[in-house]
Each structure stands twice: as structure tokens, then as C-alpha cells.
Structure 1
Amino acid sequence: MKLVVSVKLLPTSWQASALEATLRACNQAAAHASAVAFAKGLKDRNSLQREVYTDLKAAFGLSAQPVVRVVKKVVDAYAALEAALRAGRLGAPNSVPHRKAISSPVVFRTEAAQPFDDRCLSWRYDARTVSIWTVDGRMKGIRFACSPHQLKTLVQYRKGESDLVQRRGKWFLVATCDIPEPEPYAPSDWIGVDRGMVNLATTSDGSNYQGRRLGRYRRWQARKRAELQRKKTRSAIRRVARRSGKEKRHAAQVNHRISREIVSFAQRTGRGIAVEGLGGIRERVRLRRDQRGTLSSWPFHQLGRFLAYKARRGGVPFLEVDAAYTSQRCPRCGHTERANRSDRDHFHCRRCGLAGPADVVAGVNVRDRARSAWVFVTAPAPSP
């Protein structure tokens, strides 16, 4: 299981200047290699490296190994573009985004992240410093800061490349860690999790994680952005740029907390976790105009991903089940009708009279479907 650990670098002003020059040189070299790859149709790493190796060393001041990493970054960028085109994420072949993507080389920003392997970057965990190659020579003793948990993960599981990243004048190293996955245990039962906008997550046990505070925070951020954008001054534009990502990081922190609590509770009780499969929800659901932006930016998928990877890391069984009619089906008698859910918060079965919070009922239906799915998965294959 691969996870990333992001640590903050604390370079001196001289070291920061060298890192900035290195990032600029690597991305200029990547842009040159990308133009050559596009013009000559070179998609594999060896062919592109033979074509640009000498030019990148001579023109951009890169050593041998950084040239190799730059070429790999370019090849990976074109591979990612090809995958996006095949999956249709850039629209149909005759759409404007699709035509634009295939009509010009991949562009690299001057501050884009640059990967380094262990030949270009070495870690000293005891001193909390790194040594990294730069265009001004090898920079030793660059301090970094991280939590004790992150440091332990780095020491035990770091493997492969680390990316040098600059964000708003601050420097980070994003390291890849290969963490072994424990074997999932056999669950005694399941915790069904219903995701929503008013309640971010509601479990079949009745635990409720409300989204009202997050919703208020997002609306406040939207108003502040609108106020700054209306001013159209340089200062306002800079302030909007500083705010970029703040709301996203806040929502991610909320999702981390919720998923951590649910997974910890499942571990303590020996149960698995089941969620609704919400793929294609934007195509299936019809909303009022004022709700569309909220649905498009709401972090449903992120909460599901956090639950999935934390469950895998803790050896907790995890299932996605069919989401159809989980909020309209009665878990007691099975009667399914839209009128069972008279409003957003309440459920009342028209046949047997079962009543309760609508999101809890949906979580119970998710749990019941996980029970059925698990029995089917673990059932022995019929003998020939």
C-alpha cells in the first residue's frame, strides 16, 4: 500500500535560492524535452532520453541523474494524458478540451514539482536534515520538520522517489512510503455508512457527523472570494491566491477526522465498513440550480477514499454496495416507496409503520446489503 508523507523544509535564504534555481532549471528542461517528444512522437523513455540527454546537460546545467528524472517526468506526463483521453475525461474526440490537449506539447510550470531519487536526495533522520542535488552543487544539512508519526513512517517505509514542491514560498518534500497491508479479519458484522451534505456521515449505529459547520465555512469562503474578486485590484488578486486551497484543506481535515473515528470504532468492535457506491451521482441526480455547485464541490468521494485506505491500513474489511433506494427502503419489511421519506430528515414506512431518522435508516440498509454481499463473496464455490 503506497502512501505519501509531506515534510516541510526549513532552508536558509541561500539554500532556498539554490532550490528555486534548481526547480526552474528542471522544469525548463522538462518543457524542452516535452516539445521534442511532441514534435517527434517519442513516447518511450529510452528513445526520448537518447534524443535529449546531451542537450539537457549542456543547455540547462543538469547532471546525469537529474536528466534521467526529468525525462521520466515528461514520459509520465504523456502517459497520464493518454490515460485521460482513453477514459474520456477530456471529452469526446471532437470537443474543444480534447483537441486542445492533443494539439500542443504538455506544458510544465516553472514551479512544478520535481521528483528526485536516492542518488539525488539522501535523508538523515536522526538529525532531521536532507542532502539534495542542486544546480549550485550538493546542498547538505537542509533541515526539515514533521510530526513524530510521520518521522516513524519515513524511517520504516520510505521507498522510491521524493518530490520537491514549492507552495507560496514554502518548501516541501513529498516522500513515497510503501506500507505493508495487514490481512483483513473476518468481520462479526458491518457498520453501514450513509454520506450526505447536511450530515456528512451517518452510521447504522446512529453516530452522526453533521456538515452544518463545514457548510457555513464554505459559504463564508465563497462570499469572501466574491468580495475580493469584485474589487479587481492587485492586492485583492494576491489575497484570493493566498486563500486558494484553504477551503480544500479544511474539508480534507474534517474527512480525515470522520474516517479515522469510524475505522477505529470498527476495529474495536471487530466489524467491517460498508458505504454506498456513489459513482455517477451527478448524472443520476437532478437538483435545483442553487444546489448544483454544492453537489459538484462536496467532498463525498474524498471521504470514501479516506475510509477505504484507512480500513486497508488497519486490516478492516471494506465494501461498496449498491446505493439504489437506500433512503426509501424499509429495513424491516422491505417496502420501497418515495413517500416513505416524507422529508429530508424523517423516514416513515407506509406499510409497517417503522419510523426513524432517514440517514440512520439509510445506513442500516447499507449494512444489510453488506451482510448479503459478504455472504455471497465468502460462499464456497459449487462443486463441478
Structure 2
Amino acid sequence: MSRLKNSVLAKRGVTGAEGDVLVEKIPLRLRPEEEALARDIQRESARVWNTVMTIHRLFWFKYGIWIDEAMMKDFVKGRFEVHSQDVQAIVETYYECWERTKKLHEEGHTEWRYPWRLKRFFTSTWKVTGITVEGGYLRLSNGWKRPPLRIKLPSRLKGLEIKQVQLVWHRNGYWLHVAVVKPALERVQGDTVAAADPGEVHALTLTDGKEALVISGRHLRSLHRLRNKTLRKFQKALSRCKKGSNRWRKLLEAKYRFLNWVEAQILHVEHAITKLAVEWCVQRGVKKVYYGDPQGVREQDCGRYHNQRMGQWSFGRLRDLLEYKLKRHSITLEKIGEGGTSGTCPKCGHYTRQSGRIFRCGNCGFSGVHRDVVGASGILDVAVNGHFTKDRDLPGKVVYLRPRVLAPVGQKHRGPAAA
């Protein structure tokens, strides 16, 4: 799994001179002694976080001053049993959280709290000076005269420049987030503008005014449905067991295995959907994409089952995946409100609440076009012209595609009855 790293790496000076910095997420299978070492490292990293937070707050309450980042780094230098770069990264993370909260308070969001919670474990970070590749293994330094953490490097990462590594605990195991530099992709030279309309049944609908692409999201919906049904069975079985018993532990491990499997499948489908969308944009020389923001849909109460589907609709993650993939081709993505775009008639401009997949105008009787195509066309119209225009031309060619998904490989995940 690859993700383009956010601006945090750029703030810390982690950039690729001749490529893009992406983050590869790798699940780890550690031996007992390696897991114990990883746990000790994260526990020591938590001690760094707790110390930084306590000192920062103590100086404010006692002396009325805030210690700056440089002074804090000097104070904690050489005091902890982890690599010095890990200590610096934790200090930087703390101050990023603190500054972001301060900005939110200035904007009126006073419900956000400054960092206050003491940690038992904390994500450990290694920068370039603490990373060594030796014979296909990643050697992560743990400081002077302390045993390093050695992880086998996946073959797909061999030969790539590694900028940063993080040790992350997720659900029931350790993961390694490796920031690597990958070759830059082809830059789009065109000047075409397109619009994307996210949906729950059809994941993405794109149009440049002349053509339209509708990508199905039904496989994504089926995975969400499978997760809901299986989790219900697990929770029902767990509720009948005594907490801490052998049966309870086995069920919990099986539940975590299933969640890891199904979430990997969901992420794979989301990557496949966004890949189709990016390929479509690159082929047509699209330079900017306006992405409809359906945030208001979740605020409507339409019953428990519909509300569940809306709550699990991952349009935000699809937007993030699409944005970073478009960015690699120098295509910008801009979020825009999509209110009324799927119900406003492209011929007469009258709004009609839609109930089916085919658009039908209650005023002039216009029909015969997929309502998501009308929605994407409306987003493009509002973005370019600033308002809905009457008698606008709709895409002459509409292509419907399903995401190209690899078949799942490996053991089948058993239900709670067989766990």
C-alpha cells in the first residue's frame, strides 16, 4: 500500500530530489524477542512524549512562558534510551499538534484540547541517520550500545532511497511505515478541466464536458456489508464469553484477523477505483479536477440502514487517494460544494428531488441520462461558470467501468463459530 506523505515530511525536510516521497505500509511478523524490543522502544518513546508535554505545560503554569521547540530539543538531548532522531521527531510531532490546536482556537474551535494525555506507548520514528540497509534487512538504530531492530526489507523496496521509518501499532500487531523516494511520473501538459461526483452506488463519476466515466462502487458496498454482518456474529459470540477466557481470546484474535483482511480488501478496491479515475484524467490531458463535497448528506436522518451506509461511505478517503495520485501527475484537485447538482435540470434549470438512477425533471420532462452524470456535469458547470446554466450540453459518450480488483489470496477467514 502506497500513500503520498503529507506536508509533515516536507516540514521536516524529507523530500525527494528526483521523485515523489511515498509511504509504504508493511505488516510485521516479529519473533518474541523482536516484539519485546519493539515494545520497549515504543515505551521509551512514550516517556519522551510525556516528558516534553509535562515540561511544556509546567513552564506555562509556573512562569507564564512557552518553551520553544529548539530549547526543548536541547533539554531532552541525550536523556533517553532511543535514537536521538526519534527524540527530535517526537518533539516536532508535539509542537505540530500544539500549533495546530492553537490555530484552531484562534478560529473559534475551542472544543479542541491541547496535548494533555499521558501515553504508555508512542510511535517511534527513525530518520536517515538511524536507518541502514544490510543484506536485505532494515537496521533501525536504537542508540549507542543498544541492540538495533532488524526487519526484513520487502523485495519491492530494495534499491529505493529510504527517507524515514515509523514503527506503528495497529489493532493487534506492529506495522512499519517506510517513506521512500519513487521515480516521478509523467506530468500532464494539457489544460482541460474536469469534475468528479462521488457516490455510494457509483463510487466516482467524472466528466470533462464531452465524455463521462462512471465507476461502480458496488464491490466496495459488498465488502462493507460483509464486514457489518461478520462483526455482528463476532460481537454476539464475544458477549456470551467471559472476558479473558481462552474462548474469548480466540474469538478476539479471529475478529482482528478478519478486520485486517477485509480492510485490506476495501483499501485495495479504493486504490483500483482511483487508479481508473487518474488514468482517465491523464489520457485526456486534464489539469484540474473539481471534486464534489457531499458532507451534508451525512447530516440527513433517513433511517438506521441508510444512515449506516452513509456513515461508512468513505468518500473522504477516496478523495485523499485521488488527490495524491493526481498530484503525482501535476493535476490539482479542488473541493467544491455539490448542493443541488444531481437534481438541477440541465435544460430548464428546475430542481427536482431524484429517486431513481435515471434523471427525471418534474418541470420540463427531460429524462434519459444517468443522474450521476448530470451531477458531475452540474459540478463542472458551477465550477467554471459560477452558477447553473440552462440548455447546457451533456457528455456525448458515457463509459461504465468496474474497478479491476485482484482476487484475494491466502487462507479463508472463518466465522466466530469455527474460531
Greater mean deviation of Cα atoms: 292-301 or 165-174: 165-174
1:114-169 Cα distance to aligned partner (Å, 9 max, x none):
11112222235xx432222126635386421143xx546x33xx43x321234434
* Aligned residue in 2 for 1:330: 345
C-alpha change, 1:186 and 1:369, in structure 2 (3 Å) is: farther
C-alpha change, 1:354 and 1:306, in structure 2 (3 Å) is: same
* Aligned residue in 1 for 2:142: 134
Report the number of matched residues. Answer: 346
1:331-379 Cα distance to aligned partner (Å, 9 max, x none):
3x2523125x3x1312123326243111122122234445547xxxxxx
Given residue 138 of structure 2, which amino acid in structure 1 is its aligned partner?
Answer: V
- Partner Cα distance (2:36, 2:73) in 1: 28
Of 168, 173, 181, 1:165 maps to 168
Of 227, 233, 240, 1:221 maps to 227
Q: For the aligned residues, what is the CA RMSD?
A: 3.5
1:59-94 Cα distance to aligned partner (Å, 9 max, x none):
xx34xxx2453254144224314424643699954x
Q: Does 1:361 align with 2:380?
A: no
Contact 2:23-2:177 at 8 Å conserved across structures: no
- Partner Cα distance (1:354, 1:214) in 2: 28
Identity value in percent: 16
- Partner Cα distance (1:8, 1:178) in 2: 20
- Partner Cα distance (2:291, 2:175) in 1: 38
Shift of 1:260: 0.6
C-alpha change, 1:29 and 1:370, in structure 2 (3 Å) is: closer
Unmatched 5+ stretches in structure 1: 374-384
Contact 2:198-2:292 at 8 Å conserved across structures: no
Contact 2:72-2:91 at 8 Å conserved across structures: no
- Partner Cα distance (1:28, 1:114) in 2: 11
More helix by share: 1
C-alpha change, 1:308 and 1:372, in structure 2 (3 Å) is: farther
Q: Does 1:310 align with 2:318?
A: no
C-alpha change, 1:296 and 1:261, in structure 2 (3 Å) is: same
Contact 1:77-1:106 at 8 Å conserved across structures: no
Of 116, 119, 125, 1:105 maps to 116
C-alpha change, 1:140 and 1:25, in structure 2 (3 Å) is: closer
C-alpha change, 1:164 and 1:224, in structure 2 (3 Å) is: same
Shift of 1:259: 0.9
Contact 2:45-2:86 at 8 Å conserved across structures: no
Shift of 1:322: 4.0
- Partner Cα distance (1:300, 1:181) in 2: 25
Q: Does 1:3 align with 2:22?
A: yes
* Aligned residue in 1 for 2:189: 185
Shift of 1:262: 1.3
Shift of 1:327: 0.6
Shift of 1:44: 2.3
- Partner Cα distance (1:297, 1:115) in 2: 31
Unmatched 5+ stretches in structure 2: 1-19, 61-65, 387-419
Given residue 347 of structure 1, which amino acid in structure 2 is its aligned partner?
Answer: F
Give the secondary-structure state (helix, strand or coil) at the position aligned to 2:224.
Answer: helix
Of 344, 356, 363, 1:344 maps to 356
